[in-house]
Amino acid sequence: MFEFRVDASAGAARAGALSTPHGEVPTPAFMPVGTAGTVKTLVMEEVAALGARMVLANTYHLYLRPGHELVRDLGGLHAFMRWDGPLLTDSGGFQVFSLAAIRDVHDDGVDFRSHIDGSVHTFTPESVVEIQRALGADVIMAFDECPPGGCDRATAQAAGERTLAWLARCRARFEELGRDGDVPEQSLFPVLQGNVFDDLRVSHARRTRELGDWSGFGIGGLSVGEAKENMWRTLELLDAELPLDRPRYLMGVGYPDDLLEAIARGCDLFDCVAPTRNARHGTAWTSTEGQVNLKAARFRRDAGPIDPDCDCYACGRYDRAYLRHLVVAGEWLAMRLVSIHNLRFLTRLTEEARRRIGDGSFESWRREWLGRYRNEGSTQ
């Protein structure tokens, strides 16, 4: 279980498949984010119909509400949210560092205040593993300290050291609970940190590998405000440091152009709230005009679909004029239809990338696709 098979490659890009107890995930793959156990406004049958094979849920949110023990008692997160496919939970680290009011970060863990009611909680490497064992996702993530983008080297180094120390503790607790026999089959992925400092990235990756034979790697600390070229250089460095036969999950990255750039640099799994968050603001992706905001007056009488190349339900059924009206009127249906489109846009992009890696046309297709997406890019 949790084997990763590489079917084809093109430079650093790989077309592969990750096996999990709930099925196989062809890669590259975009994972829709079901923050609180729901991909906002969609039922899971719709998420599956969009071509998504693996879904992500947030430990931080589910721990606070409704509580991981309740989810476990109700049969685990798969059953609770009616998703039979592969599932990943993050460690909650990113949310604690970005959403909650931090009280204290110390070697044992993080004390924080809930963003919901201000109550005080502590996450430790052990508790985060216990919560994710209770939720029961196929892939669970180690607790890491994600320093803010633009931090100095000393801050990045200290966060990296702490992340490595926490990783050893996560693994120990993970294995301890695994011996109980009463837990689902899961895989623990470490999270690689080091910000944009090359030597820290390399040493963090090497020391992480020394700590265990991991079945996959999370790449954290990117897409937190750094310049894009720093992200690409970091991914190229990591491509040389990570084993070829393990999936690499680039955490929090999911804009279409970033996805293609990262696939070209050896990343396999992605997640991002952008498809559904943008949908709530009427922002949609198109293959010929880049990102557009459907509120724009120029769409008032536009009888075309969001994207003529798209095969999603929204594009097959509705025109831009109607969608613009829904967005401007603040109708819930706008959020739903644009979410369907944006999610399909990304899953279709990864499906095509996979096919192109297989038939040898990935690199030329990628350049052509990015040129089209960017040159005629957003005019809002």
By the criterion CB under 5 A, which residues form the site for Zn ion?
310, 312, 315, 341
- Known catalytic residues are 90, 271
Least distance CB 314 / Zn ion (angstroms): 5
191 in Cβ contact with 211 (< 8 Å): no
* Nearer CB in complex with Zn ion: 133/341: 341
Positive or negative torsion for Cα 5, 56, 221, 234: positive
Type of residue numbered 352:
E
* Nearer CB in complex with Zn ion: 265/341: 341
Least distance CB 344 / Zn ion (angstroms): 5
97 in Cβ contact with 144 (< 8 Å): no
294 in Cβ contact with 314 (< 8 Å): no
* Nearer CB in complex with Zn ion: 238/310: 310
Least distance CB 261 / Zn ion (angstroms): 22
Cα distances from 218 to residues 88, 188, 326, 375, in angstroms, run 11, 10, 38, 32
* Nearer CB in complex with Zn ion: 248/320: 320
335, 336, 340, 342: CA torsion to nearest 10: 10
Q: How far from chain centre, in Å, is Cα 128?
A: 18
DSSP annotation of 250 reads E
Q: How far apart are CA 45 and CA 35, in angstroms?
A: 17
Least distance CB 251 / Zn ion (angstroms): 26
